[in-house]
Structure 1
């Protein structure tokens, strides 16, 4: 089956923001529970049709993989190879969020979003250590060409691993980095960082700062 024929989770924009207000950028999870709202009201449709339908958004679990004891975050560069990278609008860009579309097969679980998250982590990266927790940080919404039809659900995965590596050809390269290295990538003229990772950087910094108190 080609990617366009995949059956994925989506939600009419008017339904997504029927209970909580429209926002741009990041919204912490302590104010709104979009996750439960999406699980209650979602539908499924053909990906190829939904990718060009701005009246719907696709919920995307987007997880930051961190070793907070070491101050490390997994970062990677997406492949520019059209046969390896599924989302052409993200080719070659840097990211520190792992995730993907919630597929109909994920609906076997009562929380298909988190089921998808765990599946994507298993498929995309090799974590050489234990996972201690996966927590919800908040939500990402933006209006660039990618964000127009996607809605990010931002999670944080804690691990004691000191090495995480790519397990998917969509990732050209990837490894643990410290926050200062991520900031350098953001300002480097030789690098392009995907919008959601730029948005996720501030809540990631706040998370690390909260551990110092």
Structure 2
């Protein structure tokens, strides 16, 4: 181990106990009744920040992930994940979602911390060069995959004024906008969360 590796800080990410999610109402796939979950899941009384390297393998916690979908005149932004991305289990998969972990270094608190982290993730991954309106439309849970077992997605749709989204991260490849029907025809090329969203939001 090099000195730089030894000194690299451990990222702490926002999690909730999986048991709390089950108590609120377990589901597999997509759930549009967000009011039943969101305030409790983002309540600091129930959340904590834990080392990411530990919770990635611990299904007793769910990492909360904003998952942002960009839409312009009915067409949806998509991309392919390169091998430089942070989650190795998703490399080479196509996706319609931009987002990531809520970190202990994100400012503010409660739902304001969540929104701050969501916009930070967008700014880190893409150049969003358009005005927009956004709304939270549902949650994703997928306990059928190793990645899904330790994450809970909070889905937002951004309706854009212009189709102007460019990759900022090197791991975001082969981008574009397409009719959801076209993407559904090749849904097996997409990561599971994108498959779930394509089916339930656009299917």
Rounded Cα–Cα distance in structure 2 between residues aligned with 1:49 and 1:66: 35
Equivalent residue runs for 1:78-157 within 5 Å: 78-79=81-82, 81=83, 84-111=84-111, 112-131=113-132, 133-143=133-143, 144-157=145-158
Rounded Cα–Cα distance in structure 2 between residues aligned with 1:173 and 1:5: 31
Q: CA deviation at 1:104?
A: 1.0
> 2:60 matched to which residue of 1?
55
RMSD between superposed Cα atoms in Å: 1.9
Q: CA deviation at 1:128?
A: 2.6
3-state DSSP of counterpart to 2:176: strand
3-state DSSP of counterpart to 1:101: coil
- Cα offsets for 1:42-100 (capped at 9, x unmatched): 11010001111111110100011111xx2211100000x2xx21101000000001110
Is 1:167 aligned to 2:168, yes or no? yes
User: Kindly tell me: are residues 138 and 77 of structure 1, through their superposed partners in 2, closer, same or farther at Cα, counting changes over 3 Å?
Assistant: same
Q: CA deviation at 1:164?
A: 1.6
- Give the TM-score, by structure 1 length: 0.84
Q: CA deviation at 1:16?
A: 2.4
3-state DSSP of counterpart to 1:180: helix
Q: CA deviation at 1:181?
A: 2.2
